[in-house]
Structure 1
């Protein structure tokens, strides 16, 4: 995939995590707010955070699974 695609994905992830962080702040969930804003900083496209391909793959996998689990558990509450 072209590099611009990854930049777009990172920008979209940053915006999404900022939204989730703001929503968590409104619900007074400080732990979730911190996690989402930290992920927004990690995925932001402006200053590259070099973790290496293997670590980024692990981070992407863990974040993806965590988001799936959080969507499933948030519907129950």
Structure 2
């Protein structure tokens, strides 16, 4: 996955911790679901142990089809934790040099 996409996803997740209109969260669910699904696939093909599972769990949590309900405070924590995870592990899923 290209680095700008990873950083954009992290930014969108970070903003998701703020109180915003419901439409943003619907958009975020779709984008995060796709982003974490792709990240899980890339991490799996690169044989990164537990990382595909972590991304897969996040894809399930953010899926837009069967919604998972949490209080707003829990969603804010999930958004921030997911943003941090994707930033910390970006080198494992981005395209380009493997250094």
**Residue of 26, 41, 55 corresponding to 1:36:** 55
- Which blocks of at least 5 consecutive residues in structure 1 are unaligned? none
Q: TM-score by structure 2 length?
A: 0.66
For the aligned residues, what is the CA RMSD? 1.9
Kindly indicate whether residue 49 of structure 2 is the aligned counterpart of residue 27 of structure 1.
Answer: no
Q: TM-score, normalised by structure 1?
A: 0.82
Between the aligned partners of 2:42 and 2:68, the Cα distance in structure 1 is 26
Runs of 4+ in 1 over 6 A off after TM superposition: none
Q: Unaligned regions of 5+ residues in structure 2, if any?
A: 1-19
Q: Confirm whether residue 55 of structure 1 aligns to residue 59 of structure 2.
A: no
> How far apart are 1:10 and its partner, in Å?
0.7
Distance 1:56 1:3 in 2: 13
- Greater fraction helix: 1
